[in-house]
C-alpha cells in the first residue's frame, strides 16, 4: 500500500473485491465453522424473524438457525454462487453502500468481518449506517429484535500469529497465498449436504489449482479498542453490548431512538 494511492471505491475494487473474486473457492473451503457469539445471536432470535447478512461471503451463517429466514448479500459474484447453496435462504450480489433493500424491512442483521474492508473512516461509518437503516424498530421485547451484530478485525491481537498490537499501522495489506497444486476441499471430491440430501458441488464453484504459487493482497483497517463503538455512534446507532473474541472486536447495536 502506498500513501500516494487514494483510497475509496476504486481502491477497494482493486484491493478487496477483485481479490475475493479470484480466491472465492479456496476462501470458502476455509470458512465453515460459525463463531460462537454469532451463532448465539442467531439462535436467540424469535422464530419467524427475517434478517440480513451483509457481506455474507459463502453464506456459512445463513442456515445456522433454521427457524429464521436470512437474505445474504456480497459484492463477490463467485461467493454468492456458493452462498446460494444454503436453501431456502436468499443471496444476492450487492455493495454494502448500495444495498437494494428498503429501509426498516428486517428484524435483525449481521455484518461479520466486512466493514474493516472499507478504506476510509467516512466509508466505514457509512457502511455501519447502511446496515442500521435496514432494521425495524424493536418490538415485543424480543431479544435481538431490531439489532445488528457487527464484527471487525482488532488491532490488539499480540497473541495471534499475525502479532499486531497497539502502535502498529492500522491500515494493512494481508496476504492470501494460493499454493501451486493446492486444491479446495470441494475439488478433492468432498460432497455437500443440504436439507438431508448429499450433493456434488456445482461446477461453477470449483476453481482450478494454480500452476504456481500466487499471492493476493487484501486491504484491512484494523480497529483499535472502542473504535467500532465510535463508528456505531457516528452512524446513528446505540451500542447495547460489545466485546472481544478471537482477534476481533464485536458489538450489538440498534438504531438510536429519535426524541
Residues sharing a CB contact under 8 Å with residue 86, sequence separation 6 or more, in sequence order: 59, 62, 63, 72, 194
Q: What are the pLDDT digits (tens) for 233-253?
A: 999 999 999 999 989 999 999
| pLDDT given at position 90 | 94
| pLDDT given at position 133 | 97
| pLDDT given at position 225 | 97
Cis before 88? omega within 30: yes
| Cβ atoms within 10 Å, residue 227 | 18
CA 148 to chain CA centroid, nearest Å = 12
Q: Which residues of the chain have pLDDT under 50?
A: 1-2, 184-205
E strand or H helix that includes residue 185: none
* R_g (Cα) of the chain, nearest Å: 18
| pLDDT given at position 184 | 47
The pTM (predicted TM-score) of the whole model is 0.85
CA atoms within 13 A on the CB side of 154: 21
Q: How far is CA 35 from CA 8, 56, 93, 130, 155, in A?
A: 29, 14, 23, 23, 19
DSSP readout, 110-174?
EEES-GGG--SHHHHHHHHHHHHTTBPPP-TT-TTTTEEEEEEEBS--TTSSS---TTS-SEEEE
- Cβ atoms of residues 29 and 184 within 8 Å: yes
| pLDDT given at position 210 | 59
Give the domains, in start order, of the chain with CATH numbers. 9-154+224-255 (3.40.50.150)
Q: What are the pLDDT digits (tens) for 77-107?
A: 999 999 999 989 999 999 999 999 999 999 9
| pLDDT given at position 237 | 97
| pLDDT given at position 6 | 86
| pLDDT given at position 187 | 37
Amino acid at each position: 500500500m502506498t500513501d500516494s494511492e487514494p483510497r475509496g471505491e476504486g481502491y477497494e475494487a482493486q484491493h478487496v473485491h477483485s481479490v475475493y473474486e479470484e480466491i472465492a473457492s479456496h476462501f470458502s473451503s476455509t470458512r465453515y465453522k460459525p463463531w460462537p457469539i454469532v451463532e448465539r445471536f442467531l439462535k436467540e432470535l424469535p422464530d419467524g424473524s427475517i434478517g440480513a447478512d451483509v457481506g455474507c461471503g459463502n453464506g456459512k451463517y445463513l442456515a445456522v438457525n433454521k427457524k429464521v429466514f436470512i437474505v445474504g448479500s456480497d459484492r463477490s459474484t463467485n461467493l454468492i454462487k456458493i452462498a446460494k447453496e444454503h436453501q431456502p435462504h436468499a443471496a444476492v450480489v450487492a455493495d454494502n453502500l448500495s444495498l437494494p433493500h428498503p429501509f426498516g424491512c428486517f428484524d435483525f442483521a449481521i455484518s461479520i468481518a466486512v466493514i474493516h474492508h472499507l478504506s476510509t473512516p467516512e466509508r466505514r461509518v457509512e457502511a455501519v449506517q447502511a446496515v442500521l437503516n435496514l432494521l425495524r424498530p424493536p418490538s415485543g421485547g424480543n431479544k435481538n429484535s431490531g439489532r445488528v451484530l457487527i464484527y471487525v478485525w482488532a488491532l490488539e491481537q499480540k497473541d495471534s500469529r499475525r502479532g499486531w498490537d497497539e502502535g502498529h499501522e492500522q491500515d494493512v495489506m494481508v496476504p492470501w497465498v494460493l499454493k501451486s497444486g493446492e486444491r479446495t476441499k470441494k475439488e478433492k471430491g468432498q460432497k455437500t449436504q443440504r436439507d438431508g440430501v448429499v450433493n456434488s458441488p456445482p461446477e461453477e464453484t470449483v476453481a482450478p489449482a494454480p500452476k504456481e504459487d500466487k499471492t493476493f493482497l487484501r486491504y484491512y483497517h484494523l480497529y483499535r479498542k472502542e473504535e467500532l463503538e465510535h463508528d456505531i455512534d457516528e452512524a446513528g446507532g446505540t451500542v447495547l453490548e460489545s466485546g472481544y473474541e478471537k482477534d476481533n472486536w464485536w458489538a450489538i447495536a440498534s438504531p438510536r431512538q429519535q426524541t
